Structure 1
């Protein structure tokens, strides 16, 4: 690595920073609406199985590659096998694309946090508030710029003083806040105009109980695609971020323990996020409120907070501040992956690279933010959906490139360099990698097949 002095202070600093990358918009924005869309408990069951198998394998692989090669993603794969140079380029391009829109979503969250802090909770609950905001070029652009600049400032400060320090502060606050709000959501009760009473515990049942009667092959494949894309997005795997973070991990850190802690923390927060959001929406909006899709956080939730009475604005303020923390730690990790690669490629200092990237992505973030107004367009995607600029970038990076990277990476590790190449690094500190047999089996036989199916589905070949 170019910046050899960069490293996390120890295992706790690394785990919190990696968890900060993993716990983000994917948990608070994506996870609840995917769960609601895919039948609640059915999605949860499949997701949990995939986290314990594929999530464990993919995260272990990325971290071990980073620490063993001491190179960022664009050169790490090439050092494993010269023929895999293209895989490093693809892995580098994923955060490059994600960074184009992550600050835009962060800006949306910042806008709502400001609205609740300044006493505009009632206005934020109006039907047209979100659409009015994202279609206002000046306002949407301003909040994207503010969020992008805040991210760049933290990355500019470096690994230990910037990324780790930020994560150590934000992650405990986020965890406490999400537990308190989830507990409050389960205590809610509401009687509508028809005299029907709905409770948070009933909403928990909607969230947690799988309905196997709905399960068909097509439904299973859709849930599988959604759950795997959520794992990519949530655990920050197959996008070079964890390879970069692996470079900063000291040799005496127990990677096996770290992987388990990161997976557990990320899954726990995701489950709590669903427990916080879905029961509260069910209480005040019934099943109709679940149909909001990606707008669940920005349309349905403010209405829920408005229905809570005097305590609603305070709960809403706590939620959006917490969501802002989560989005920021993830956005930092995406920019750090790009920064570290550029430092290595151009042999440049962190300060110089961060300044240039900060300017470039501030401009790009504004363009993407204006994709709902000045640059509005609708493009049909191969998976049968339509999307604007933000959706296109998300589809290319998350639904297409990540399964391709995971497929190629599984073939490289499983059949070319062999699984023991990863296992040796996981056991470098003297610990024993648990479930070695599972790692070898999945990376060689299961991952290539599943990733191929996801690729075919993402490209519209298998629907």
Structure 2
């Protein structure tokens, strides 16, 4: 693209292409790796209900607001705020910092997924002790870094050609395939395994006695991470959307795709774990430790394991395209770098972080960072600290700031004009304004108060 940063961003080749890239950004490890174990820890059915409510009341309006800001300014995450008000570019820098931190562990876990996918294709053999296999691999010094760098390099090379070119074409292929793989895995889990219906009942039938602020905060944080709101994704993607597109319907489609992927992942993992007699509270190691054990014991396990981990690696890569693009576009436009230099700088920052976080599961496992809350000072490992800081502080802060920006700085009249194409697609209702001014900020306050231990 050269060093000319004043050119208008290239627009999406089709609305379907944009929806698939946006859904690909939203559908990733958050849905398939993180959602199922949080759903289990949160009480199954009650967590699912809270999650869906939060999607409707928070995710959908946030996707609309962030996308409208991006399309209005047609630039990177920092500049899109500065073009409306020069003093508010800091929101974009917070989003970039948050994205860098998430990428520092997201790519590492993505490397684990790639390793397991390849292992399933080669042999499907993870030894008798799945725990030992997982621990030996993740704690080793070199191999996890190599797998992470493979993903880092692949995503960076694809982005050299621009997110609206090869990436859009690739994502239009892999996202439908992802849903096919998840549906196949879900059918297998429900109809081939024994005792799966008990898991399904736990997953779908709510126990309202298990509701708490903690469950709500986990669901809300999972929505932030899973849908990708509060950290610049939709400002970045919105910059390429044609003016004639209906942002309101696009936001609905993206939210539905993301929620559908998360619910499908729950259908696969929770019934499978019940069928295998495994405790789903294995947490972050669930996919790698528990699922390999289950697939190894049940009929057709290797085939379904291949499908599952291929679906997961597709989800990882489709997300990283946009995650990397946030910083690349910021360096390219706001910092006046060419596309190639911006891509390399982004890759270097993330790559250094990947090495440190990966070593944090091995030789640097003794390194702990302080975390202060109402109960005092605790110490977290590198991954846990990054996950907590980004998920429970930076993402809620980003959402809260966007709400303030839309309501007080940009103004509802200007926002409505962009969102509805000058009234072509309806108006901004009082309900929409209440969500922006009251509901979403209140949700974010609950999340932050919960992580600091002030409400449980």
Q: Same fold (TM over 0.5)?
A: yes
1:251 touches 1:429 (CA, 8 Å); kept in 2?
Answer: no
Partner of 2:279: 289
Q: Deviations over 1:148-206 (max 9, x none)?
A: 1111111112122232112111101101111111011111333xxxxxxx2x2221111
Partner of 2:259: 267
Q: CA RMSD in A?
A: 1.9
Please, which runs of 5 or more residues in structure 2 have no aligned partner? none
1:212 aligns with 2:208: yes
The 3 A distance-change label for structure 1 pair 435 and 300 is: farther
Residue of structure 2 aligned with 1:346, choices 335, 342, 345: 335
Q: Which moved more, 1:180-189 or 1:329-338?
A: 180-189
Task: Give the Å deviation of 1:380.
Answer: 4.8
Question: In 2, distance between residues paired with 1:189 and 1:145?
Answer: 36
1:22 touches 1:235 (CA, 8 Å); kept in 2?
Answer: yes
Residue of structure 1 aligned with 2:383, choices 378, 383, 390: 390
SS at match of 2:245: coil
Question: In 2, distance between residues paired with 1:429 and 1:186?
Answer: 48
The 3 A distance-change label for structure 1 pair 167 and 2 is: farther
Partner of 1:93: 97
TM-score (norm 2): 0.93
Q: Deviations over 1:275-312 (max 9, x none)?
A: 01100111111xx5222111111111111101113x10
Equivalent residues in 2 for 1:191-340, closer than 5 Å: 198=195, 200-215=196-211, 220-285=212-277, 288-309=278-299, 311-340=300-329
Residue of structure 2 aligned with 1:72, choices 72, 76, 83: 76
Question: In 2, distance between residues paired with 1:9 and 1:144?
Answer: 30
Question: In 2, distance between residues paired with 1:146 and 1:274?
Answer: 28
Task: Give the Å deviation of 1:250.
Answer: 0.9
Question: In 2, distance between residues paired with 1:234 and 1:253?
Answer: 24
Question: In 1, distance between residues paired with 2:9 and 2:85?
Answer: 26
1:415 touches 1:444 (CA, 8 Å); kept in 2?
Answer: no
Please, which runs of 5 or more residues in structure 1 have no aligned partner? 191-197
TM-score (norm 1): 0.92
1:407 aligns with 2:394: no
1:77 touches 1:88 (CA, 8 Å); kept in 2?
Answer: yes
1:2 touches 1:343 (CA, 8 Å); kept in 2?
Answer: no
Equivalent residues in 2 for 1:95-134, closer than 5 Å: 95-123=99-127, 126-134=130-138
Task: Give the Å deviation of 1:125.
Answer: 6.2
Question: In 2, distance between residues paired with 1:238 and 1:257?
Answer: 20
Question: In 1, distance between residues paired with 2:96 and 2:165?
Answer: 24
Number of equivalences: 448
Partner of 1:195: none
Question: In 2, distance between residues paired with 1:251 and 1:65?
Answer: 12
Question: In 2, distance between residues paired with 1:165 and 1:14?
Answer: 10
Question: In 2, distance between residues paired with 1:430 and 1:252?
Answer: 12
1:241 touches 1:337 (CA, 8 Å); kept in 2?
Answer: yes
Partner of 1:58: 62
Partner of 1:165: 169
SS at match of 1:381: strand
The 3 A distance-change label for structure 1 pair 453 and 122 is: closer
Residue of structure 1 aligned with 2:146, choices 142, 147, 164: 142
Q: Deviations over 1:241-288 (max 9, x none)?
A: 110100011111121111111011111111000001100111111xx5
2:138 touches 2:358 (CA, 8 Å); kept in 1?
Answer: yes
2:40 touches 2:280 (CA, 8 Å); kept in 1?
Answer: yes
1:73 touches 1:91 (CA, 8 Å); kept in 2?
Answer: yes
